[in-house]
Each structure stands twice: as C-alpha cells, then as structure tokens.
Amino acid sequence: MTTRREVLIGTGAGLTTLGALSLGGARMAAAQPGGNGGMGGGAGSRMPLVDRIVPPGEGLGHKPLVVSTWRHGLPANDAAWKVLADGGRALDAVEAGVRVPEADPEVTSVGYGGRPDREGHVTLDACIMDEHGQAGAVAFLEGIMHPISVARKVMELTPHVMLVGEGARRFAVAQGFPEQDLLTDKARADWQEWLKTSDYRPWTPPTDPKSTSSARPRPSDNHDTISMLAIDGDGNLSGACTTSGLAYKMHGRVGDSPIIGAALFVDNEVGAACATGVGEEVMKTLGSFLIVELMRQGATPQEACEEGIARIRHRHRDGDLSQVQVGYLAIDRHGNVGAYDVQPWFQYAITDAEGDTRLVDANSWLKRK
Ligand code: SD4
C-alpha cells in the first residue's frame, strides 16, 4: 500500500529533499536551486501540495485523543476528555481543558496565580484554533481569569483574530466575563522577593535534577504554558494555548502563546502543533506552523517536532543553549503524536482513545546529566 508519506514524497529525489529540509534552512536552500525545489519531483518541478490534501475526516479512525503540555496537563486532559467522551467537539474539549489550570492558583504560569511581570501585573496571552482554521487570540489581557474563553469569543463574535490589552479587557467585560485581581498573595510575595535582585532569567533549570520522573518538581517555576491539542470522534482537530507568560517579563511583553502559527497551529487536513517555552525563540521560527507544514510534506509528528527544535538550534549555531527552553508537541490527523524539546525536562499529558491519561517524558536535544 502506498503511504501518504510516499505519495507526498514521490521519488528518491524527493526523499533527499526531505533529508535536506530536516537539516535546516541552509541545506534546504541548497536543495532548491532557484528557490523552486519543493517536496518531491526533483529539480525544477514543484509539488502542488495543496492539490494533494486529503478531504477532512477521510480515512480517519475517529478515535478521540488529547495531548497537552506539562504535568498540569493531567487534570486539564481529564476535563477535555469528558467533552470528547460525550461525543463533543474538539474545540469545546480544548477550551474546557485549559480552563482548569487557568483557574488553579497553584499553577504559577497560567491564569489566576500566574507570576506577574516585573511591575507586578499579571498579563495573560491565549489563543485557540478550530477545525475550520478559524482562530482567536488575546494578548496582554489583565483581570480576566479565562483568557482562552475570551479568545474563543474573539474568534466567534468579531471580525478579528486578536485583541490586546485594554481593548481585550473591555471586550471581555462586555461579554460578561467577571473582572478580578489575578495576583495571589503567593505570587506577590515571590515577585517582591525577585525584586531584590531583579535577575531576569527566561528559564531556570529544575531545582532537583536528580529526582525521578514521577516525583520530580515542575521543571521551571517561571514558565510552563499549557498548550493542548485534541481530535474528536468526528476526526476534527482543535488546539488551545494559554499562559501568564514568562515570569518578570517587561511590562507590555507578549510572547508566542497568542500568536497563531507560533505557539499553536491547527490544520484539520494535516495535524496540529503547539509550543511551550521561551516565546521569543518560538516566534522567530514560527514553530507550530513550521511543524504542521512539515507534516503536510510527509514528516511524522516526531520528525517535524525535531526539525522545529533544529531550526532553533541552528539559529544559535548549536552554541550555548542553556537559556533556550522550547518544547513542541504535535499530532497528525490520524492520532500519531510527536514531542521534542531542547532541554531534557519536557513532559506532556496524553489521553488516548480508551480514556487513559498518563504523563510522558519527551525526548530532547540536550540530555540529563
Ligand atoms: C511565553 N511561551 O510567554 C510562553 C511561556 C511558556 O512554558 O510557554 N512557558 O513565552
């Protein structure tokens, strides 16, 4: 049987091109003289990728699936799964799922209880995308516990994709979202402690690197976005991403999390990808869009995630990656999953077709010492 990968790649020449692609932009350019290489077909013939798209839903096993980033994905997946198990839509599932950490004051990187910026403001970024390629986002939103639901309203009720700051807040209030102070006493105390040194580090390694997978603490206290991807019983895909962003960021800073194509991209005909980590790295390589496009061209979710990380490494010329924390998570439309990180601490939660939820250690470029 001819696989989709073979159909997409077509010839040995095409496979060579995929190999070149996986080694980054420079090799890709070399493999595409005149900038017209494309995938497959050899020199000079560009594959019309869009013509090869499989119609939505065709050939799917219709098995629901939820994946999400980090340990706080476990209860989030459970909430999402309830929607899917009732025959619900993936969009409703991802919204319900990520609302769990948004409301949890113990999760210090998402929603209520999230760490503030360096001026003491909790500013939230979120985006959501459905099976039709519709998208909504909010950025730099203050005082609203559930930015993901505001993002969905932006998608469904406005002619826009993104609202930011005061405009986003006013829109949320007009839609009936309650306003509240999201800075908890604990987050305020931690911020005041941080102010004593004002030492800004986008990422800090785990406090106890030797602890075991099941017992170890969260990998980082200053960020851990939740990004979630789901397939519902109709074979449709959706995704959501929500965060309070990097702890002690500059006031006004917005990361990748509300940027469609950076922290999240969903293409119902191909798959979906999402990100967690230092947003500046993800934005400069438009990671989630890249990963979905690589899957369109025949890469597996795992290969595509590894290429997404390779692009980031390439930007750093594989130099000092100690402050570079980015993890990608991807699914294809058949429910295959991939994940990869620069650092060795990334975990994701998966709920499979049987409804079993577990935490998985992702592979990484750097290894644990
Ligand atoms: C940001 N990407 O604001 C977010 C933070 C994050 O895991 O994902 N942390 O850059």
Domain assignment of residue 111, yes or no: yes
Residues 262 and 352 in one domain: yes
More confident: 36 or 135: 135
* Ligand 1 atom index nearest CA of 70: 7
Spacing, Cα 123 to ligand 1 middle (Å) = 12
Residues 36 and 92 in one domain: no
* Ligand 1 atom index nearest CA of 253: 3
CA distance 170 to 318: 44
pLDDT at 207: 57
Average pLDDT over the chain, rounded to an integer? 83
pLDDT at 345: 86
* Ligand 1 atom index nearest CA of 125: 3
Identify the residue whose tokens are 């005082």.
143
**Model confidence band, residue 203 (pLDDT cutoffs 50, 70, 90):** confident
Residues 74 and 197 in one domain: yes
- Nearest Cα to Cα of residue 316 among 326, 307, 325, 324: 324
Residue 123 is among the residues annotated as catalytic for this protein:
no
pLDDT at 29: 33
pLDDT reading at 327 higher than 50: yes
CATH code of 249's domain = 3.60.20.30
| Ligand 1 probe mutation, 248, 257, 288, most atoms within 8 A of CB | 257
Domain assignment of residue 312, yes or no: yes
Number of structural domains (the chain) is 2
Q: What percent of the chain has pLDDT over 70?
A: 78
pLDDT at 223: 58
Residues 174 and 279 in one domain: yes
More confident: 330 or 209: 330
Amino acid at 212: T
Residues 124 and 252 in one domain: yes
pLDDT reading at 369 higher than 90: no
Domain assignment of residue 348, yes or no: yes
Average pLDDT over residues 226-251: 96
pLDDT at 323: 83
Residues 69 and 44 in one domain: no
Residues 293 and 174 in one domain: yes
Question: Residue 82 sits in which domain range?
Answer: 65-364
Average pLDDT over residues 138-151: 98
Residues 34 and 78 in one domain: no
Within a 13 Å sphere around the CA of 328, how many CA atoms are in the beta-carbon half? 35
Residues 154 and 215 in one domain: yes
**Model confidence band, residue 310 (pLDDT cutoffs 50, 70, 90):** very high
pLDDT reading at 43 higher than 50: no
Domain assignment of residue 60, yes or no: no
| Ligand 1 probe mutation, 109, 110, 164, most atoms within 8 A of CB | 109
Domain assignment of residue 154, yes or no: yes
Residues 39 and 89 in one domain: no
DSSP of 52-86: GPPPTTTT-----EEEEESTTHHHHHHHHHHHHHT
Spacing, Cα 44 to ligand 1 middle (Å) = 40
Window from 29-33, 161-165, 240-244 with minimum mean pLDDT: 29-33
pLDDT reading at 30 higher than 80: no
Residues 22 and 79 in one domain: no
pLDDT reading at 198 higher than 70: yes
| Ligand 1 probe mutation, 243, 244, 280, most atoms within 8 A of CB | 243
pLDDT at 16: 32
Domain assignment of residue 78, yes or no: yes
Tens digits of residue pLDDT in 79-138: 999 999 999 999 999 999 999 999 999 998 999 999 999 999 999 999 999 999 999 999
pLDDT reading at 10 higher than 90: no
Spacing, Cα 285 to ligand 1 middle (Å) = 15
Spacing, Cα 223 to ligand 1 middle (Å) = 6
**Closest Cα to atom 10 of ligand 1:** 279
pLDDT reading at 341 higher than 50: yes
- Nearest Cα to Cα of residue 114 among 271, 203, 28, 221: 221
**Model confidence band, residue 179 (pLDDT cutoffs 50, 70, 90):** very high
CA distance 11 to 112: 52
* Ligand 1 atom index nearest CA of 276: 8
Q: What is this structure's pTM?
A: 0.84
Spacing, Cα 287 to ligand 1 middle (Å) = 13
Domain assignment of residue 218, yes or no: yes
pLDDT reading at 319 higher than 70: yes
Domain assignment of residue 265, yes or no: yes
Average pLDDT over residues 220-240: 87
pLDDT at 1: 41
Tens digits of residue pLDDT in 251-309: 999 999 999 999 999 999 999 999 999 999 999 999 999 999 999 999 999 999 999 99
The residue annotated as part of the active site, out of 17, 69, 184, 225, is: 225
DSSP of 228-291: EEEE-TTS-EEEEEEE--STTPPTT---STTSBTTTEEEETTTEEEEEEE-HHHHHHHTHHHHH
CA distance 16 to 19: 5
Residues 214 and 279 in one domain: yes
Amino acid at 369: K
Amino acid at 219: P
